[in-house]
């Protein structure tokens, strides 16, 4: 279940920007908007899960229905030739997919006697699934075509059917559930803590440079001539799996502040590597930028979830985690995906023929990558200045 859940995501998400540019002649803004659809869905998903799914439906059956319809939508995306229609199909698909992330977790947790020990060994198959998708794309030679969507569609329909034979996970009805509780508004009480408020704002802002990587890294690496770019990007997921092992140790030794500083600093360094790696002599910098994904993601987001749980305590920890997800993968990514698309367009030089048609366009990637690097540096400096939490 976990393998397929993230295989699907990795199959279409990484290469969507490259596909849109090559087959739909999409602008940077249009690519950014397509990626923004998943962020919008992330903001809406908690309403659906909290107010509908948890009350009325068995998790595995609802997940099956959503994946089957999602697979149909992914296949439909391969038949679309204009950007506006493509955007709406991807938005609708995202609204189908994002609830299945929480539903798959629910199915897993319901079967466990000790989630703290057992869940990581289940969730790691999701990372393996994402890696397998990237390797499959390059091995099948479908990285630049609609084959990625077809592969994701087939996997989605298969998982949809498979979901109906998963162990039963009945509705987790909470009679005290409310709209505010569903999206984590009870966690707002944490913002009264100055240190957490600074962290919370920084978490939203750091999603802006994050969006540049998700939306345009594959297009960039493909354009600069890195062979099998999609499978090589999975090195980032391997790095993520390696560095996550170090988090429990570092969390209790160097502390959360230093870990977050390392995470934000890694984002800045990654984009500097991308900006200067577009030459034969410095191609190693491209690999360094990919490998840094483990520190970028684990040391900020995984540590951030741990820090949020530590601050929240048992009573409101679920609400606090929901609010953190809503703010980062929702609000932060909406801002970031939109800005990344505008930035790419601003640094694109277009050549026109006599009739005003575009004959060629060149993206000045070195300039593009300095924007998220600069944003990350400002965020890092602000974090170091204002995050002054007293030791207990």
For the entire predicted model, the pTM comes to 0.85
Mean pLDDT along residues 300-312: 82
* HSE-up of residue 234 (Cα within 13 Å, Cβ side): 21
Confidence of residue 390 (pLDDT cuts 50, 70, 90): very low
pLDDT over 90 (residue 319): no
pLDDT over 70 (residue 58): yes
Phi, psi of 367 (to 5 degrees): -70, -40
pLDDT over 60 (residue 175): no
Question: Per residue in 252-305, pLDDT tens?
Answer: 788 888 888 999 999 999 999 999 987 777 889 999 999 999 898 888 888 888
Is the model more confident about 234 or about 174?
234
Q: CA-to-CA distance for 306 and 301, rounded, in angstroms?
A: 9
Residues with Cβ within 8 Å of 266's Cβ and at least 6 positions away in sequence, in order, are 292, 295, 296, 299
- Among the residues of 141-233, which ranges form H helices? 147-163, 179-182, 194-223, 229-233
Tell me the pairing of strands 358-363 and 348-352: antiparallel
Q: CA-to-CA distance for 93 and 74, rounded, in angstroms?
A: 7
């Amino acid at each position: 279940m976990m393998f397929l859940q993230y295989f699907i995501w990795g199959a279409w998400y990484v290469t969507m920007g490259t596909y849109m540019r090559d087959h739909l002649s999409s602008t940077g803004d249009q690519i950014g908007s397509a990626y923004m659809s998943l962020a919008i869905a992330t903001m809406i998903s908690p309403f659906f899960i909290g107010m509908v799914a948890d009350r009325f439906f068995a998790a595995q059956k609802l997940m099956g229905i959503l994946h089957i319809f999602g697979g149909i939508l992914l296949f439909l995306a391969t038949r679309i030739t204009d950007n506006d229609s493509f955007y709406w199909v991807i938005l609708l698909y995202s609204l189908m997919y994002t609830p299945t992330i929480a539903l798959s977790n629910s199915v897993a947790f319901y079967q466990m006697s000790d989630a703290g020990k057992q869940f990581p060994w289940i969730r790691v198959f999701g990372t393996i699934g994402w890696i397998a998708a990237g390797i499959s794309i390059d091995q099948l030679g479908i990285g630049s075509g609609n084959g990625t969507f077809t592969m994701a569609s087939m996997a989605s329909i298969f998982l949809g059917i498979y979901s109906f034979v998963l162990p039963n996970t009945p509705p987790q009805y909470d009679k005290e559930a409310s709209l505010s509780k569903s999206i984590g508004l009870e966690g707002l009480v944490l913002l009264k803590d100055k240190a957490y408020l600074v962290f919370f704002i920084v978490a939203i802002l750091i999603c802006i440079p994050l969006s540049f990587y998700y939306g345009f890294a594959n297009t960039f690496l493909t354009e600069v001539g890195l062979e099998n770019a999609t499978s090589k990007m999975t090195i980032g997921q391997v790095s993520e799996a390696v560095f996550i092992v170090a988090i429990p140790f570092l969390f209790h030794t160097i502390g959360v502040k230093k870990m977050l500083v390392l995470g934000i600093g890694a984002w800045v360094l990654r984009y500097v590597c991308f900006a200067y790696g577009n030459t034969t002599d410095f191609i190693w910098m491209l690999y360094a930028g990919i490998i840094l994904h483990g520190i970028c993601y684990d040391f900020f987001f995984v540590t951030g979830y741990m820090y949020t749980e530590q601050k929240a305590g048992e009573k409101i920890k679920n609400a606090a985690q929901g609010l953190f997800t809503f703010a980062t993968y929702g609000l932060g990514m909406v801002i970031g995906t939109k800005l990344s698309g505008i930035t790419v367009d601003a640094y694109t030089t277009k050549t026109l023929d006599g009739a005003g048609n575009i004959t060629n366009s060149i993206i000045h990637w070195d300039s593009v990558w300095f924007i998220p690097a600069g944003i990350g540096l400002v965020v890092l400096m602000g974090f170091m200045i204002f995050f002054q939490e007293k030791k207990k």
